[in-house]
Structure 1
Amino acid sequence: MGRIDHINNPDAPAPNSVVPSTVVFVTDEAGRVLLIQRSDNGDWALPGGGHDLGERIAMTAVREAKEETGLDVEVTGIVGLYTDPGHLIEYGDGEVRQQFSIAFRARVTGGSIATSSESTRVAWIGVEELDRLPINPSMRLRIAHGLADRSEPYIG
């Protein structure tokens, strides 16, 4: 088992950690969204990951985007803060995290698309294609908020 997302599942195991994490919402000139297919569960998601000691949280987003997509990005804003205690992430090692994710808006500044140990595919996905992909509801919410280009960040 790599990763299981439990969303409002009364049978989910109790959380035992909270790890600040980030994702980046990036679109290209055609309005397509940059997504990765995760190697741990096969779902499509915005690139991102956990915050490391000694780094600023925006740099977490930049580092994770580079690691998972091969692209260099620059953070330009905040889409939202996602801390739903009903969203738990269960890992094979026994860790069960309560969601704590900051979705940053970003733009590509360089690099070239490449996969990693965390991403089996990296692609620019058209809005019309999103409904056909396996994307968990919490990630769909972040994508929807990014596409809506809200004037204020989502806080929830």
Structure 2
Amino acid sequence: MPRRDYEDDPNAPRANSLVPAASVVVVDDAGRLLLQRRTDNGMWALPGGKMELGESLADCGVRETLEETGIHIEIDGIVGTYTSPAHVFAYDDGEVRQEFSICLLGRPTGGELRVSDESLEVAWFTPAETDGLPMVPSIRKRISDWRSGSGPVVR
């Protein structure tokens, strides 16, 4: 389902949904980040998605990372919280979701890179390599917050 991100855009549609979600900055022993290129907008992003009933936030991050990338992880911490009402995602079905994401920090414990129905590509990148990748501002902000080492942040 294609989506369009709006951040600090006065012409953005009004939110009609709020869904708890987790994203994960997964860092391997070489200091590289795990990213996926999303099928819904073609942009590079952290693995993540909406929380399901009956799971913890950490469980959500672990599940979404495995589903989207093929990599098993453990959660080590929190990068930050991202809940700006000025950031919404508009979907083709009419849902306009206000951002509500907790960005976790994780490390790989196994698995092999693979794409899913939500990812066109999956790869490891050095922090510097992420600078040139096409991604929405909110994902770039999360990576920047992790790189600054000042977390956890509240945004």
Q: CA deviation at 1:94?
A: 0.4
Amino acid at match of 1:95: E
- What TM-score, normalized to structure 1? 0.95
Matches within 5 A, 1:1-156: 2-150=2-150, 152-156=151-155
Question: What is the percent sequence identity of the aligned residues?
Answer: 50
Q: 1:40-59: CA deviations, max 9, x gaps? A: 00010000000001111110
Q: CA deviation at 1:131?
A: 2.3
Once structures 1 and 2 are overlaid, which stretch shifts more, 43-52 or 121-130? Answer: 121-130
Q: CA deviation at 1:141?
A: 0.7
Match of 2:49, SS state, is: strand
The number of residues matched between the two structures is: 155
Amino acid at match of 1:153: P
Take 1:138 and 1:154, find their aligned partners in 2: how far apart are those partners?
13
Match of 1:132, SS state, is: coil
Amino acid at match of 1:56: S
Take 1:30 and 1:76, find their aligned partners in 2: how far apart are those partners?
16
Match of 2:135, SS state, is: coil
Take 2:127 and 2:54, find their aligned partners in 1: how far apart are those partners?
36
* Structure 1 stretches of 4+ moved >2 Å: none
Q: CA deviation at 1:39?
A: 0.5
Amino acid at match of 2:153: Y
* Alignment gaps of 5+ in structure 2: none
Amino acid at match of 2:124: W
Take 1:129 and 1:106, find their aligned partners in 2: how far apart are those partners?
19
Amino acid at match of 2:95: E
* Alignment gaps of 5+ in structure 1: none
Take 2:32 and 2:96, find their aligned partners in 1: how far apart are those partners?
32
Take 1:118 and 1:45, find their aligned partners in 2: how far apart are those partners?
11
Q: CA deviation at 1:149?
A: 2.5
- What TM-score, normalized to structure 2? 0.96
Q: 1:64-123: CA deviations, max 9, x gaps? A: 000000000000100000001111000111000000000000010111111100011001
Q: CA deviation at 1:128?
A: 2.3
Q: CA deviation at 1:135?
A: 0.9
Take 2:99 and 2:39, find their aligned partners in 1: how far apart are those partners?
19
Once structures 1 and 2 are overlaid, which stretch shifts more, 129-138 or 85-94? Answer: 129-138
